[in-house]
Chain A
Amino acid sequence: MSWITVVWSINVGACLTLAAFYCAVWCKQRENWVHLLFSCSAVAAAAISAFELGMLNAQTVEQYQALVRWIHLPTWVLTVSFVGFVRLYLRAGRRWLAWSIYGLRTLVLIFNFISPVSVNFRTITDIRHFSWNGEMVSMPVGLPNPWGLISSFSLLLLLIFSVDATITVWRRGDRRRALLVGGSMIFGAILAWHVPLVIWSIIEVPFFLGFTYTAVVAAMGYELSSDMARGARLARELELSDKRLNLAAASADFGLWEWDLSKDEIWVTPTRRAQLGFPVSGKITSDDLISRWHPDDRDKVRQALRNAIENGKDYDAEFRRVLADGSVRWVASRGRVQVNKQGEPIRLLGISMDITARKQAELEAARQRHDLAHLARVNALGELSSSLAHELTHPITAILSNAQAAQRFLDADNVDLNEVREILKDIVTEDQRAGEVIHRLRRLLRKGEPQKHSDDIDLNEVIRDVLRLMRSDLINQNVTVDTDLAQNLPPVSGDRVQLQQVLLNLVLNACEALADCDSSERQLLIASKSETSTVQVSVTDRGRGIPGGKPEQVFDRFFTTKKEGMGLGLSICRTIINAHQGEIWATNNSDRGATFHFSLPIVRSDALSAASSKVLDGSALTATDASAPRVAAPSVLLGPGANGSGEEEPAVSASERLARKEAVITD
């Protein structure tokens, strides 16, 4: 076998190998078109080499004519894919040059197939064999085609294009790539000039156009190997950094997680994975993860997740997790939604932290606050005790007189049973009245559960309750109370007893402020009104006002203007109101006396902000912004009903359920 056959074949093989390799790379990363373009150009280069080998060994004119005609097809493919490759891979090369080359090359292809033989030769009359470096090769004998100049011109443009692209890359600072890839392609573009020179019989060498691209192929082979080396290094570094990250996360008790929404697959850091009792590898779905959440918190977290996915907001939730060993831990989880180019959410990335210690401290603080409030309440009721006893005295007096009257009626000769019946009825009524007094008292004295909130508190009712409780005391102190209560007051959320306590304190306080006043001036006004997002209650007295011109001070702990006061009452009021997300403040009236106000947020049935859902163990859903992208979240988000049902809910039905649920809540 001649060495020419061997060398040309090696070139074909090398090009095809690299083409196959890049094609395989492209198959894995379809979005990276540069690999496909390179693969195409390498296949074309291989084809050209094969055609050339055929031409060098051609025995007949017809054979040669066919080869020299069809070699233009791979040449066109090579040129087009090479120019595309340069523009994509090096992000260089002028667009107009590229389009000019495409145009000229296509023109060459058209002329090639119009011409009787090829764009290079008008006619081929014979084949002559000559010896080249010890091998006999075939060369055509004929007339060159003048249209072939177009082909030469396109070669010139290609050279200019290559040089220009290389300069751009060089200037960009990527000198290694400019030298390697740019240099090899300039070299190739120069070498390609042998073709017209041979055709015009200026030099006598065999065609080796296929080799002009070999330099580029070699450069790319080198690039690829260094890419692989870099990839391996990156992988090693990634593994290291992954280990470092996992170590950091594990030691800080952080968990990192990622939720692929389309596949419903969740990745979590290994430590967390182990804590949650998942096997070391294997898919975790959102169902699996939710099963590790505390049952009472699942709806809340689902809602927060849905809010994040649907509205593109950051996800932020605090909830309890049940670990594999059965222990319950508090977790704060934060995440962010990633969207694709169409703006659709594709995955959620986040971290989770163990906040059990903080949560326990918070709960402990809340419990202490609750205990203190209770003590203060007992204390305040202690101040009221004699008037509360009086409140009980009324019904008991009525009962005793009624009963003794009945006894006397029954002792008489003519017993009027109707009269006795009436009396007994009244006794029952009065007994109930006494019972209510005791019940009201017991409610206030009871310690209750911390953070047990109800969502339907009518502050007017709270005001009336407190006034009922304080009736005797107010009479005793000669204080008259006027009320100005707004009708249809929206409900607020909170602890009814604690809110009664706040009002009780404010009224007791106001009464004390009035103690020095003339009895005709001992007047209080209690008013309620609704603002845009709050309900406001105010207690106005005509007393001496707040001394010192610093009304805010009165809420400080141990601040008191009384001889016997502990200075806790108003500070507890503030603690209670703050815990209800409300505000409390005091102002001196312009004429005389002071007014104490507090406001509490209205319970909104139509929307709950993420912030408020943190506080209220909310069951209401966030209303979604109509303009925000809506996607069908995995069915697992949509409620316990979708859990373990074993069948995938179609997206339409999911959004219907969502709409239904929203409708129920906005009602």
Chain B
Amino acid sequence: MPSSPSPTVFVVDDDAAIRKAVLRLLRSAGIAAAAFASPTEFLAQYDPNTPGCLMLDLEMPGFNGLQLQTALAEKGSSLPIIFLTGHGDVSKSVQAMKGGAFDFLTKPVNAKNLLPAIRAAIERDAVARGEQAKFSEIHARLDTLTPREREVLQHVVAGKMNKQIAGDLGITEATVKMHRARVMAKMKVQSVAELARLTERCGIRGTNSLKSAA
């Protein structure tokens, strides 16, 4: 696996003094951070591969926090967002939470609340990114399978015997065995149970009902 960059907190706030102070606080906690004066500035420089979280001011002139949240969602980013607001405006917080905000804090924010929230967000991002990485790996292995091997895989995870599979696919049992061994090798698994767990995560279901339904 390639070494991913260290987690970074992206601070987006139009108030320079707040940016500076928050960066200091994060540095004191040993958390890497980068600050941006506006959502547009952030979007221009943001690298989705960098893990971490977004600490976003809700009220900003022009392009505001909620709009940035929407823009990131459209890009498929799963970067956790901690909103900061000076108002505690109910309708806006509801909108933010519906948009999948990780947390919602009011200014002035205490380090006791902020730092745990940020650590939790970074943690979640790391977990999410780990999941994402595994998911990609499994997909990569699946991509190496031939269409026939994929068919055999679907029948295997459905818990069918070689004989049944051979019958269903109209091939010999020996051929099924050969395909099956190749699938196990390509998917780098030792047991059928392991194979089933992997494929389930990718949403591949067994096709035991294929014939009976027909």
Q: Which residues of A are in contact with B by a Cβ distance under 8 Å?
A: 386, 389-390, 393-402, 404-406, 408-409, 412, 419, 423, 426, 429-430, 433, 472, 474-476, 478, 480
Contact = CB atoms under 8 A, between A and B. Distances in A.
B27 to A, nearest CB: 7
A405 B59 contact: no
B15 interface: yes
11 contacts: A390-B86, A395-B17, A397-B109, A398-B20, A401-B108, A404-B110, A405-B21, A408-B25, A408-B28, A408-B111, A480-B62
A401 B59 contact: no
Given A400-B110, A480-B61, A433 B17 contact: yes
A393 B20 contact: no
Contact of B17 (A394, A404, A405, A480): A394
Contacts of B24: 401-402, 405, 419, 423
Nearest to B20: A426
A475 B60 contact: yes
B20 A390 contact: no
Contact of B108 (A400, A426, A474, A480): A400
Nearest to B15: A394
Among B22, B60, B107, max chain A CB count under 10 A is at: B107
B87 interface: yes
B28 A402 contact: no
B17 A429 contact: yes
A373 to B, nearest CB: 29
Given A398-B20, A426-B21, A409 B61 contact: no
B213 interface: no
Contacts of A399: 21, 108
Given A429-B17, A480-B62, A397 B107 contact: yes
B1 interface: no
Mostly, the B contact residues are: loop
A409 B30 CA distance: 10
B29 interface: yes
A412 B29 CA distance: 10
Contacts of B59: 390, 472, 475-476
Contact of A402 (B15, B21, B107): B21
Given A390-B59, A401-B18, 18 more contacts: A393-B108, A395-B17, A397-B15, A397-B109, A400-B111, A401-B21, A401-B24, A401-B108, A401-B111, A404-B25, A404-B110, A405-B27, A412-B28, A423-B24, A430-B17, A475-B61, A476-B59, A480-B61
Contacts of A480: 61-62
B28 A405 contact: yes
A398 B109 contact: no
B28 A397 contact: no
Contacts of A408: 25, 28-29, 111
B87 A397 contact: no
Contacts of A423: 24
A477 to B, nearest CB: 10
A169 B23 CA distance: 113
A406 B21 CA distance: 10
Interface string B24-39: 1101110000000000
B103 to A, nearest CB: 16
B28 A394 contact: no
Contacts of A389: 86
Contacts of A426: 17, 20-21
Mostly, the A contact residues are: helix
Nearest to B111: A404
A390 B58 CA distance: 12
B109 A401 contact: yes
A397 B21 contact: yes
A517 B140 CA distance: 51
A574 B18 CA distance: 41
Contacts of B114: 401
A474 B110 CA distance: 27
A293 B111 CA distance: 68
Contacts of B62: 480
A663 B108 CA distance: 57
Given A398-B15, A433-B17, A405 B25 contact: yes
A408 B111 CA distance: 10
B17 A393 contact: no
Contacts of A390: 59, 86-87
B87 A476 contact: yes
Given A426-B20, A433-B17, A393 B29 contact: no
Given A404-B110, A405-B25, A408-B25, A398 B18 contact: yes
5 smallest beta-carbon distances between A and B, as pairs? A408-B28, A401-B21, A405-B24, A404-B111, A393-B86
Interface string B55-88: 0000111101000000000000000000000110
Contacts of B64: 478
A260 to B, nearest CB: 72
Contacts of A397: 15, 18, 21, 86, 107-109
Given A475-B59, A476-B59, A398 B21 contact: yes
B131 to A, nearest CB: 32
Given A472-B59, A475-B59, A394 B18 contact: yes
A399 B29 CA distance: 17
Nearest to B110: A400
B17 A400 contact: no
B17 A398 contact: yes
B30 to A, nearest CB: 9
Contacts of B27: 405
B22 A401 contact: yes
Contacts of A406: 28
A408 B86 CA distance: 24
B43 to A, nearest CB: 18
Interface in B98-116: 107-111, 114
A408 B27 CA distance: 10
A390 B110 CA distance: 16
Among A386, A397, A402, A423, max chain B CB count under 10 A is at: A397
Among B28, B60, B109, max chain A CB count under 10 A is at: B28
A433 B21 CA distance: 15
Contacts of B21: 397-402, 405, 426, 430
Among A389, A401, A423, max chain B CB count under 10 A is at: A401
B87 to A, nearest CB: 6
Contacts of B17: 394-395, 398, 426, 429-430, 433
Contacts of B87: 386, 390, 476
Given A386-B87, A476-B59, A393 B107 contact: yes
B112 to A, nearest CB: 8
A474 to B, nearest CB: 8
A517 to B, nearest CB: 16
B39 to A, nearest CB: 13
A396 B29 CA distance: 20
B104 to A, nearest CB: 15
Contacts of A409: 28
